[in-house]
Every structure is written in structure tokens, then in C-alpha cells.
Amino acid sequence: MSNLKEDILETTTKTLDLKKVRAEFPVLHQEVNGKPLVYLDNAATTQKPNSVINAVSEYYKGYNANIHRGIHTLAEKATAAFEETRKTVKAFLNAAEAEEIIFTKGTTEGINLVASSWGRKFVEAGDEIIISSMEHHSNIVPWQMLCEEKGATLKIIPINEAGEIIFEEYEKLLSEKTKIVSIVYVSNSLGTINPVKEIIERAHKVGAKVLLDGAQASSHLEIDVQSLDCDFFAFSGHKIYGPTGVGALYGKRELLEAMPPYQGGGEMIKEVTFEKTTYNEIPYKFEAGTPNIADVIGLKTAIEFINEIGKENISAHENELMTYAYELLKDIPGFRPIGTAKNKISVLSFVIEGLHHFDIGMMLDAQGIAVRTGHHCTQPLMGIFGIEGTIRASFSIYNTKEEVERLSDGLHRIVKMMK
Ligand code: C6P
């Protein structure tokens, strides 16, 4: 991997020979339905480089042991590797302290943790929680559950036709009743990058906390939780070239300390008697039970992979592919892009009027092209656009212009045949 950065820099500026990058991703080198795989479902999950796969397998082969419990050599080695990831995530998000990083299963668990622990303690009847129209179900349902339990109200920020939040409407929703604004940084269905810094500033003025759903943002944008001044930030490892089943929640120290534990069990305690339990310090207070040690270790390697290339180089390459794809697809009869925000990442969502997205997805798959079709876990958003779902092509560092051309050729052929 030593010359990887140089090679990629060369390719992002030159347009492109991504052989070196692609060589790092074994899954890409296969045929699907008799055709070379074109993987354009990166917003659902990215593929994993050899370094990540090796880090996970080296843990199992070389030093598999439970952490924080044993004093034997393997346990100490595993604990050290696990805690190294916490420091790497701290730097990745620019958090002030490693203790502000809690390992979770992913974004969904991070949001549920906040809704369940912070929400149960601080939200009361009559309070209001604000989310936006473009939220993933993971950032809707936990708040609905909390509102139902507490008698609080969920308020929804409307969006315009391009898929951008209407800021003035957001400002109107804010009041002293607002307890938390929980909003997606980058929409998975539209690609919209929300103006989160301004959203946070306004929320703080009325004393509300802000949680950012960073599931899509974390692989494309530099994240700086201190400069953003968000109160919580959740992301998933599997969307940033890391393993599935692991992610992290950032929370400001004073908030995490004021919150009750999310789950009870081993590791989150200081002392247990049958009468009473005292809880551990943060972050361990929120990490009950044996965690996903191997995948936490793999997450560190994934972040190193991103750091080595640089997010600005990753997003420059991805944006170039998205623009190219749009140019090739825009003249397809019935092509309608969904999500045309001025500020967006490399997610190209669209419908072809008169054709069902599932049919198109299946026919693309028959040509070895993987895209996601459906509502992308944003059913209310699809309702706003008056559709059931979209076809979504999402790009990553290892995708090529030739792959975009395969997508375009495939779609042109399908539409010609079906219309
Ligand atoms: N979006 C997609 O194809 P988990 O499943 O916990 O790792 O992430 C949930 C999640 C939360 N917020 C946003 C903005 C997301 O995009 C996702 C996951 C995938 O778009 C799977 S539905």
C-alpha cells in the first residue's frame, strides 16, 4: 500500500488507471451473471480492502482473546489493539477525548442509544424533537418510539424539490420546547449535504442538542465534531471500507456522563451487589458485554486506508464519476433524477418514468451491474417525491469511468427494449 496515495493522486488528476486501488479489493475481481462485476451500491456498503480483511483475520489467527478482563498476554494484546481503534476514531472525528467514543454496532445503534438513554432521561411530555424529511428510518423510528413513550412531539423539517431542507422552515420549528434536533449530515437517497453547522448553531440558541447521522458523510467528508459543535455523531464502519457490525457514537463528555447506561451487563459496571450496582466510567458505561473485538480492530485499518488516500481525493474522484454518469444518463427517455441539491455527494438516484425500478435493477444485475433499488429505508421521503423508490448508483474510490459507461450502456439498452 506504500505507493497507493501517489498512484491514486495520479489517477484522480489524470483520469484514470485505478488498477492499484482495485487490486486492494478482492471482491471486485469476479464475474456476476457471466459479466465482470460493476459494483455501484457503495452507499449501502463499501467493499473491503485486503488490509481490513487481513487485520480481522490476523486477530483471530494470532491473538483472539477477550478484552479488558484478562491479564494474560493475548488479552493484553487484544485490549491494546481495541483501544488503539478508539484513538484512531477520536482523530478521525477530531473529538477532544478518546473517552467520548463509544463502540456500537453501527449508526442505527448509535441513534438508538441516544434516544433511549439521553432521551428517556431528558425528554418529557410536551417537548419537541426535530428531524428532517430526508431521514433514514434509523433516525425516525427511535424518536417516534421515544415520543410515544414520553408524550413528546416529532417535528419534521420540509424540503424543496431539489431535496434541500428549507432553512427558514427549520428556524420556525425551533423553540424552547425543542429538546434535540437529530438530522442526517448527508442523505443516503438524495446525496444532499445538509448545512449542519448552521443547523447546530440555531439549535443551540434555543438550548437544544444536536445529533448528526453521519452514516453517509463519514466516507466522503472531513468530519470535525469540535468545529461543528455537534453533541452526538453516529457512523457505521461498513460504509467506510470497514467491517459490518461495528460503528461508533461520539458524544460530548458532559452529556455522556449525565446519561444512564443503555444496557446492563459485564464491562459497564464498577461494582455489583444484589442490592445495587455502580456504573463504570465513560465510554465503558455504554459498552456492556463482549464487544465486536475483531471488527473494531478492522475499523482502525479502514480509517487508515481512507487517511492514506485522503478524503478530498476520494470525493474528487467520486464526484467526477457522478457527473460523468449524469451526463451519460440524462438523455434516457423518462430519466428523472431524484435529489438535485447544489451541495451533494456521489449518489445518483433516479427513476425512469413508466418503468419499475425493481425491473431495471434486476435487468442491470443480469449484466453484472449492482445498484440499489427501492425506498432505501426512507419511505416518507419517497412519499414526498410521489414515488415508491428509485434506482440508486453510488460511487466509491475503486469505481472507474468504464464502469459508468457499462451502467449507461446497460440502461440505454433496457429502456430501448422495454419502452
Ligand atoms: N443506509 C443504504 O443503502 P446502519 O444500517 O446502522 O449501518 O446504517 C443505517 C443508516 C442510517 N443513516 C443513513 C443516512 C444511512 O444511509 C444508513 C444506512 C444504507 O442507504 C442501508 S439502508
Residue 317's alpha-carbon distances to 222, 311, 312, 360, in angstroms, are: 15, 10, 9, 26
Decide: 219 in ligand 1 pocket, CB within 6 A.
Answer: no
Q: Are strands 277-279 and 101-104 parallel, antiparallel or unpaired?
A: unpaired
> Rounded to the nearest whole angstrom, what is the distance from the C-alpha of residue 57 to the centroid of ligand 1?
26
pLDDT confidence of 24, banded at 50, 70, 90? very high
Q: 11-21: per-residue pLDDT in tens?
A: 454 444 589 99
> Rounded to the nearest whole angstrom, what is the distance from the C-alpha of residue 44 to the centroid of ligand 1?
7
Q: 111-122: per-residue pLDDT in tens?
A: 999 999 999 999
For 181, half-sphere exposure in the C-beta direction (CA atoms, 13 angstrom radius) is 28
Quote the pLDDT of residue 2.
43
Dump strand ranges (E) for 328-408.
335-337, 347-352, 369-370, 372-374, 390-394
User: Considering only CA atoms, which residue is closest to atom 19 of ligand 1?
Assistant: 44
Going from N- to C-terminal start, the domains of the chain cover 4-48+311-418, 54-307
pLDDT confidence of 331, banded at 50, 70, 90? very high
pLDDT confidence of 410, banded at 50, 70, 90? very high
Decide: 11 in ligand 1 pocket, CB within 6 A.
Answer: no
Q: Are 312 and 391 in contact (CB under 8 A)?
A: no
Question: In the chain, what percentage of residues exceed pLDDT 70?
Answer: 96
Alpha helices, H only, 275-400: 293-309, 311-329, 357-366, 379-384
User: Considering only CA atoms, which residue is closest to atom 5 of ligand 1?
Assistant: 108
Quote the pLDDT of residue 16.
47
Q: 199-237: per-residue pLDDT in tens?
A: 999 999 999 999 999 999 999 999 999 999 999 999 999
Active site residues: 377
Average pLDDT value for the chain: 95
Quote the pLDDT of residue 13.
45
Owner of C-alpha cell 478518546: 98
* C-alpha cell of residue 417: 427494449
85 has pLDDT over 70: yes
Euclidean distance between CA atoms 19 and 16, whole angstroms: 9
User: Considering only CA atoms, which residue is closest to atom 3 of ligand 1?
Assistant: 44
- Whether the CA torsion 161, 163, 167, 169 is positive or negative: it is positive
Decide: 106 in ligand 1 pocket, CB within 6 A.
Answer: yes
Decide: 243 in ligand 1 pocket, CB within 6 A.
Answer: no
What CATH number labels 54-307? 3.40.640.10
Quote the pLDDT of residue 69.
80
333 has pLDDT over 70: yes
pLDDT average, residue stretch 406-412: 97
Residues 6+ apart with CB under 8 A from 415: 332, 333, 334, 352, 355
Euclidean distance between CA atoms 216 and 240, whole angstroms: 9
Amino acid, res. 407? L
33 has pLDDT over 50: yes
> Rounded to the nearest whole angstrom, what is the distance from the C-alpha of residue 108 to the centroid of ligand 1?
8
Domains 4-48+311-418 and 54-307 share a fold: no
pLDDT confidence of 59, banded at 50, 70, 90? very high
Q: Which residues pair with 248 in a beta bridge?
A: 103, 235
> Rounded to the nearest whole angstrom, what is the distance from the C-alpha of residue 134 to the centroid of ligand 1?
12
Decide: 41 in ligand 1 pocket, CB within 6 A.
Answer: no
Alpha helices, H only, 94-166: 107-113, 119-122, 141-150
The CATH number of 4-48+311-418, from 3.80.10.10, 3.40.50.300, 3.90.1150.10, 3.30.70.260, is 3.90.1150.10
Quote the pLDDT of residue 267.
87
